[in-house]
């Protein structure tokens, strides 16, 4: 049976000359995704390299990605590119060839998702930012390319077995670590990568001449973090090549011991991919063993938190009784609350917050 390949509309000439972006509303986008009869591949990639004109580069990528039916999120800056996307399987070769046609992207590693249903993204967004990973670093002598050495899955397992005094640092946010991490990894309990960098340096004091291994989801954060550690005087610094995603794929392909327990949190509609059967987190409302994140059904709240099925039924997918009451108000009343509600991080922090039951 021949796959039904969807034809994606080309942008108008007027759109090409002006700001390029996807105008489709989310409900329409979800319906379009649900109606697709072909398979998608969720893939992430990044590279630190000099981009002289991020805006022109962004426009060129948008035009081709849109033509190929790519959905997802791409950030571009003078320092490089960071991307999490889904690609129609029948267009994957064309997508890869186009990507590799750029000098700074030729042959870069493409991390394919471990646990993928193809429904990871709804629309395509490509944005130009000051940095592809916000780090708070203002030191002009810092060189992100002076990074630590890579460890693939096999090398990582061997290294950790042979070097028990290694400091293993998880360079992800607290809510990512909560649902899954490597055995014996140290959490850097923060809300942002910007906060983590100085904390990691403090935690590593005394390890100036001892091994330090860092890891993150796909490699982009720990690569910059490893360079920052070297910049701060730490000599033996490593990081897991391709992060948890590449590690998990290599473990599966080569039949290696899996040293990662639980789920790998991902920043798309899946909110996590299962790496091992272990459930190491708990429902934030009742405390039962559970590790699936969701967003509060009250759109004025939209808090990201862990909620088991029983609490989901009890609180109607809300994080609190207060939010549960709000979702039963009229749309006009809810709109007023959304307008008046101050902005927040919208992520439950088990170190700081207590859910109102």
Task: State yes or no: is 286 an active-site residue.
Answer: no
Top pLDDT among 246 and 19 is at 246
Which of 104, 110, 115, 75 has its CA nearest to residue 263? 115
Assess whether 82 and 160 both reside in one domain: no
Q: Which tokens go with 137?
A: 């670093």
Check pLDDT > 60 for residue 81. yes
For position 21, what pLDDT does the model report?
A: 65
pLDDT tens, residue by residue, 233-291: 998 999 999 999 999 999 999 999 999 999 999 887 888 899 999 999 999 999 999 99
Mean pLDDT of 315-324: 95
Check pLDDT > 50 for residue 6. no
Check pLDDT > 90 for residue 341. no
In a domain, 1, yes or no: no
**Domain-ending residue, one of 66, 97, 128:** 128
Assess whether 192 and 226 both reside in one domain: yes
Between CA 73 and CA 84 the distance in angstroms is 5
| CATH, residue 249 | 3.40.250.10
In sequence order, which residues have a C-beta less than 8 Å from that of residue 269 and are 6 or more positions away?
119, 120, 121, 122
pLDDT tens, residue by residue, 50-77: 999 999 999 999 999 999 999 999 999 9
Q: Give percent of the chain with pLDDT exceeding 90.
A: 72
Check pLDDT > 70 for residue 112. yes
φ, ψ of residue 293 in degrees (nearest 5):
-80, 155
- Identify the domain containing residue 346 by its residue range: 281-357
pLDDT band at 3 (very low <50, low <70, confident <90, very high): very low
Assess whether 323 and 241 both reside in one domain: no
In a domain, 165, yes or no: yes
Q: In terms of C-beta distances under 8 Å and separation of at least 24 residues, what long-range contacts does 143-147 make, across chains too?
A: 143/227, 143/231, 144/48, 144/79, 144/223, 144/224, 144/227, 145/48, 145/227, 146/227, 146/230, 146/231, 147/223, 147/224, 147/226, 147/227, 147/230, 147/239
In a domain, 268, yes or no: no
Assess whether 241 and 299 both reside in one domain: no
| CATH, residue 34 | 3.30.70.100
Helix (H, G, I), strand (E, B) or coil at 304: strand
For position 345, what pLDDT does the model report?
A: 56
Assess whether 36 and 98 both reside in one domain: yes
In a domain, 46, yes or no: yes
Element (H, E) at 80: strand 80-88
Check pLDDT > 90 for residue 349. no
Helix (H, G, I), strand (E, B) or coil at 37: coil
Instruction: Give how many domains the chain has, as a whole number.
Output: 3
In sequence order, which residues have a C-beta less than 8 Å from that of residue 55 and are 6 or more positions away?
128
pLDDT band at 308 (very low <50, low <70, confident <90, very high): very high
φ, ψ of residue 90 in degrees (nearest 5):
-70, -10
Q: Give percent of the chain with pLDDT exceeding 70.
A: 90
Between CA 256 and CA 157 the distance in angstroms is 9
Annotated catalytic residue within 216, 296, 308, 311: 216
Between CA 349 and CA 147 the distance in angstroms is 30
Assess whether 231 and 299 both reside in one domain: no
Q: Which residue has tokens 């789920």?
A: 263
Between CA 257 and CA 224 the distance in angstroms is 27
């Amino acid at each position: 049976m021949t796959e039904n390949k969807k034809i994606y509309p080309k942008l108008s000439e007027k759109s090409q000359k002006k700001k390029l972006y996807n105008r489709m509303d989310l409900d329409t986008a979800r319906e379009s995704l649900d109606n697709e009869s072909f398979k998608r591949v969720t893939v992430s990639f990044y590279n630190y390299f000099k981009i002289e004109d991020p805006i022109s580069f962004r426009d060129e990528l948008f035009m081709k990605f849109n033509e190929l039916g790519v959905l997802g999120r791409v950030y571009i800056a003078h320092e490089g590119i960071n991307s999490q996307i889904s690609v129609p399987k029948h267009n994957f070769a064309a997508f890869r060839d186009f990507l590799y046609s750029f000098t700074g992207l030729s042959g870069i590693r493409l991390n394919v998702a471990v646990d993928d249903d193809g429904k990871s993204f709804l629309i395509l967004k490509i944005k130009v930012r000051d940095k592809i990973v916000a780090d708070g670093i203002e030191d002009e002598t810092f060189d992100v390319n002076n990074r630590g050495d890579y460890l693939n899955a096999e090398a990582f397992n061997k290294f950790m077995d042979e070097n028990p005094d290694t400091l293993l640092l998880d360079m992800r946010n607290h809510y990512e670590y909560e649902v899954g991490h490597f055995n014996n990894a140290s959490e850097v309990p923060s809300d942002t990568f910007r906060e983590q960098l100085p904390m990691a340096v403090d935690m590593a004091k005394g390890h100036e001449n001892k091994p330090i291994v860092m890891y993150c989801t796909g490699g982009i954060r720990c690569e910059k973090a490893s360079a920052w550690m070297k910049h701060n005087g730490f000599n033996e610094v490593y990081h897991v090549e391709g992060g948890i995603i590449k590690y998990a794929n290599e473990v599966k392909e080569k039949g290696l011991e899996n040293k990662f327990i639980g789920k790998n949190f991902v920043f798309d509609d899946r909110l996590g991919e299962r790496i091992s059967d272990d459930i190491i987190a708990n429902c934030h409302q009742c405390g039962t063993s559970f590790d699936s994140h969701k967003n509060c059904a009250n759109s004025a709240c939209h808090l990201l938190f862990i909620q088991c099925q029983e609490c989901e039924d009890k609180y109607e997918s809300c994080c609190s009784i207060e939010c549960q009451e709000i979702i039963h108000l009229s749309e006009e009343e809810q709109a007023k609350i959304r307008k008046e509600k101050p902005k927040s991080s919208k992520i439950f922090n088990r170190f700081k917050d207590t859910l109102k039951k």
